[in-house]
C-alpha cells in the first residue's frame, strides 16, 4: 500500500536521504568514513576486524573527548588528572605537586589484547630539575578510584638523567610496580621524537624513533585499552612545555 504522505516526496534527492537515514543510524562507530566526516580522529576496522585510531588533536577540548573517543582520568577515574587539547597539541593538567595522579586518557571501545600505541613528542624548555614524562598506555582500564594496565614513559630530557620506564598500574592511586627502568641520554626524548610501545602476549616493548630501548614481561592484565598520559614533578605551570602533537593506536593481528 502506498503511504499517505508519499505525494510529498517529490524531490528524488530527498527521497534518497530519507531512505538512507535509518541505515546510516545503525552504522557502527568503528567503520571508517561512514559517519560524519567531522570526526576529529580516524577510527577504522579493516578486514579481519582489527581496530585502529589516529588523531592530530584538531579540537580545543577540556578534557579531550573527540566525539566520545576518550575516557579521562578525572572524569572517569576520579583520582587522576585529565588531558586538555588545543588544535594540534595534547598536554596534561596535573599540578606537579600532588603525587602520582598522572594526566590520563584511554581510548574507548573494544581492543584486542595485542596492541600498540605511538605518538609524536612536543618538548620545549627541558629542565633537569623537573621531571616531565610523556606516556603511552596499553591494556589499561579506568573506573572510579581505579586505574590498571601498563604505562610506558619517556622523560623529556636528553642528558644522562633521562630515562625510559615500563610500569604496571595496580589499581588504587599511587599503587604501581616498575617492570623496567633504563637511564641515559638515549632513553630520553626531545621535540619531534616518535615514541612507540607494543604488547604482544606478555611482552611489552618500548621504542624511540624506531629503535628498541626497553622491554619487560608481565602477565597481570590480559585485556584493556590503549591510551596516553603525562606526568610532571618538581614545578608548577609547565604543562604546556611538553605533550603530544599526534597519536595513534592499533590492534596487532
Domain ranges of the chain: 55-251
CATH number of 55-251: 2.60.120.560
DSSP 8-state class, residue 35: S
In whole angstroms, give the CA distance from residue 136 to residue 154: 9
- 180-234: pLDDT as tens digits: 999 999 999 999 999 999 999 999 999 999 999 999 999 999 999 999 999 999 8
Residue 75: helix, strand or coil by DSSP? helix
CB atoms within 10 A of CB 63: 20
pTM: 0.82
77-116: b or e for each residue (b if 16 or more CB lie within 10 Å)?
bbbbbbbbbeeebbbbbbebeeebbbbbbbbbeebebbbb
Dihedral (Cα; 103, 124, 167, 217), 10-degree rounding: 130
What is the chain's pLDDT, residue by residue, as a tens digit (253 residues)?
323 333 333 333 433 333 333 333 333 333 333 233 334 577 665 444 579 999 999 999 999 999 999 999 999 999 999 999 999 999 999 988 878 999 999 999 999 999 999 999 999 999 999 999 999 999 999 999 999 999 999 999 999 999 999 999 999 999 999 999 999 999 999 999 999 999 999 999 999 999 999 999 999 999 999 999 999 998 877 899 999 999 999 999 9
Amino acid at each position: 500500500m502506498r503511504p499517505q504522505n508519499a505525494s510529498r516526496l517529490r524531490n528524488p534527492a530527498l527521497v534518497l536521504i530519507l531512505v538512507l537515514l535509518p541505515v546510516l543510524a545503525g552504522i557502527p562507530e568503528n567503520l571508517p568514513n561512514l559517519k560524519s566526516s567531522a570526526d576529529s580522529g580516524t577510527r577504522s576496522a579493516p578486514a579481519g576486524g582489527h581496530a585502529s585510531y589516529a588523531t592530530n588533536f584538531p579540537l580545543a577540548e577540556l578534557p579531550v573527548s573527540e566525539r566520545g573517543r576518550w575516557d579521562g582520568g578525572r572524569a572517569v577515574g576520579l583520582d587522576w588528572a585529565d588531558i586538555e587539547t588545543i588544535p594540534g597539541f595534547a598536554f596534561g593538567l596535573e599540578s606537579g605537586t600532588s603525587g602520582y595522579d598522572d594526566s590520563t586518557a584511554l581510548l574507548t571501545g573494544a581492543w584486542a589484547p595485542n596492541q600498540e600505541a605511538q605518538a609524536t613528542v612536543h618538548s620545549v624548555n627541558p629542565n633537569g630539575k623537573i621531571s616531565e614524562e610523556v606516556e603511552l598506555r596499553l591494556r589499561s582500564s579506568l573506573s572510579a578510584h581505579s586505574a590498571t594496565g601498563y604505562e610506558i614513559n619517556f622523560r623529556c630530557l636528553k642528558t644522562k638523567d633521562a630515562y625510559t620506564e615500563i610500569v604496571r598500574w595496580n589499581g588504587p592511586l599511587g599503587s604501581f610496580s616498575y617492570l623496567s627502568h633504563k637511564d641515559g641520554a638515549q632513553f630520553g626524548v626531545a621535540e619531534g621524537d616518535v615514541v612507540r610501545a607494543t604488547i604482544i602476549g606478555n611482552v611489552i616493548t618500548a621504542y624511540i624513533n624506531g629503535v628498541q630501548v626497553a622491554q619487560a614481561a608481565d602477565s597481570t592484565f590480559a585485556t584493556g585499552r590503549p591510551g596516553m598520559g603525562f606526568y610532571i614533578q618538581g614545578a608548577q605551570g609547565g604543562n604546556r612545555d611538553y605533550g603530544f602533537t599526534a597519536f595513534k593506536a592499533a590492534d596487532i593481528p
